[in-house]
Amino acid sequence: MEAAMLQALRDPAGVPSHPVIFLVLGVLTWALHIAAVQVMLGASALTLFGAFKQDAHWRRLAAAMLNTAKVAVSVAIVLGVAPLLFVQVIYDPFWYTSNVLSARWVIAFIVLLIGGYLALYAFYYRNPDMRAASTRGAWHLVLSIVLMLVVGWIMHVLSVQMLLPEQWMQWYAPAGHIDPSGQQLHAYHPARFAFFILLSGAVTGLWLLGYRRYLMGREDGHPAEDPTYIAWLKPLALNLALAGGVLALAAGAVWMLSLPEKMAWFATSAWMGAALVALLAAVSFPRLLGARLDTGLWGYAPFALGAVALIVVAAAREALRFITLLAAHGYDALDYKLNLDWYSTVLFFVTFAVLGGVVLGYLLTVAWKAGQTKGVYVPSPGLTRLGQVGVLLLVVWIVQYFAVGFYVWAR
């Protein structure tokens, strides 16, 4: 497809900040999205596995992972919206065309996601404490995992279709007959999808190490509740991290070997090399730490390194898209017309840093400390003040939002 045609599909209004901001934020937020997706899938799979076991440790882990999955699915959805906004701003000719070509699936995405979410909660409703009672209605959880995977598959197809503009006409009008139904999923790359999904094993293994360290920190001067559980978790987490890493790298190798011709450069690129090194480092790091995993903040370090590795993977994934569209189709996402809007740019960053920092800082600190306390947790006066400041800032934000809106409208 001609570069001029792709340019014509751009929003004539331009973008409100330099496109590089959208590009970088897209990479960072997608890395967070996929991290949450992987924890959600891994935690759901561990819950399902534990659901069929009688062993007390497995039951306890299943109960904890069910709670993790419930939170992770919400985080995955919220953090999915951010890259969605960024990708549609600087890659709109590609993203919207890909969406329209499979429009029914894009709409089904929401319905399937709601179904998966409800199925997870239905399972939780039937199994409020997996430690105390045997599993009921495991099929809810199976359904939830399947629907989540279908939802991910739809996103995968949209991401792949946008990279193949040379095939759009053939999909839109096969043999010259227009098919406006949007009911087909036209292009996919199973090895690419498998790479991102199998990486769940590695990410969840690293997450389990953090969970284990967190439980160890919950002593409050007393011995840990169940040292045998803590000891049991360690090999499970390490093996899961290793097995998930090996399987993901195998799928990644197949992906690299089966790249279409115009993307073949990626397999031997520095981007790909950096992603490989980052993943290998993240998977082997906990083993290198040895006994230090049980001390200080080291127990959390593997997951932190895993998050950094995912950012490198996300950057490589973006490089594949950016360079392919530039080299093969003459589309430079960074030369988007700039229509600088300082208000929205400043509002975005201030909201993110100040409101996000204070409100999330308060909520996460309360959740963390409550989990580490035996009995009833009472926040310190300083922390309570932080919560009050958070509420005040939210009120100020809402007032300024409507005030500016009315001012602009009335002008």
Residues that bind ligand HEM (CB under 6 A): 26, 30, 33, 37, 76-77, 80-81, 83-84, 87, 113, 148, 151-152, 155-156, 159, 192-193, 196
Give the SS3 label for residue 8: helix
Q: How far is the CB of 155 from ligand HEM (least distance, A)?
A: 4
Query: Which residues are CB-neighbours of 116 under 8 A, at least 6 positions away?
Result: 73, 143, 144, 145, 146, 147, 148, 151
Measured from the CB atom, is 293 or 319 closer to ligand HEM? 319
Measured from the CB atom, is 162 or 276 closer to ligand HEM? 162
- Of 282, 204, 191, 159, nearest in space to 38 by CA: 204
Q: How far apart are CA 16 and CA 345, in angstroms?
A: 7
Measured from the CB atom, is 33 or 212 closer to ligand HEM? 33
DSSP string covering 107-164, please? Answer: HHHHHHHHHHHHHHHHHHHH-S-TTTS----HHHHHHHHHHHHHHHHHHHHHHHHTT-
CB 19 within 8 A of CB 87: no
Q: How far is the CB of 387 from ligand HEM (least distance, A)?
A: 28
Q: How far is the CB of 276 from ligand HEM (least distance, A)?
A: 17
Q: How far is the CB of 238 from ligand HEM (least distance, A)?
A: 25
Q: How far is the CB of 103 from ligand HEM (least distance, A)?
A: 16
Measured from the CB atom, is 108 or 389 closer to ligand HEM? 108
Measured from the CB atom, is 87 or 386 closer to ligand HEM? 87
Helices (H), 330-380: 342-350, 361-372
Q: How far is the CB of 311 from ligand HEM (least distance, A)?
A: 13
Scored b (16 or more CB within 10 A) or e, 139-172 reads ebbebbbebbbbbbbbbbbbbbbbbbbeebeebb
Measured from the CB atom, is 120 or 233 closer to ligand HEM? 120
Q: How far is the CB of 180 from ligand HEM (least distance, A)?
A: 24
Look up residue 89 and give its two tokens: 């701003």
Q: Which residue is nearest to ligand HEM (CB)?
A: 80
Beta strands in 230-332 (DSSP E): none
Q: How far apart are CA 150 and CA 408, in angstroms?
A: 43
Measured from the CB atom, is 81 or 398 closer to ligand HEM? 81
- Of 324, 202, 212, 198, nearest in space to 271 by CA: 324
Q: How far apart are CA 97 and CA 318, in angstroms?
A: 19
Measured from the CB atom, is 193 or 207 closer to ligand HEM? 193
Q: At what angle do helices 92-101 and 103-126 cross, to 10 degrees?
A: 80
Q: How far is the CB of 331 from ligand HEM (least distance, A)?
A: 15
Measured from the CB atom, is 30 or 207 closer to ligand HEM? 30
Q: Which element (helix H / strand E) includes 260?
A: none
Q: What's phi and psi for 338, nearest 5 deg?
A: -100, 125
Measured from the CB atom, is 64 or 72 closer to ligand HEM? 72
CB 130 within 8 A of CB 63: yes
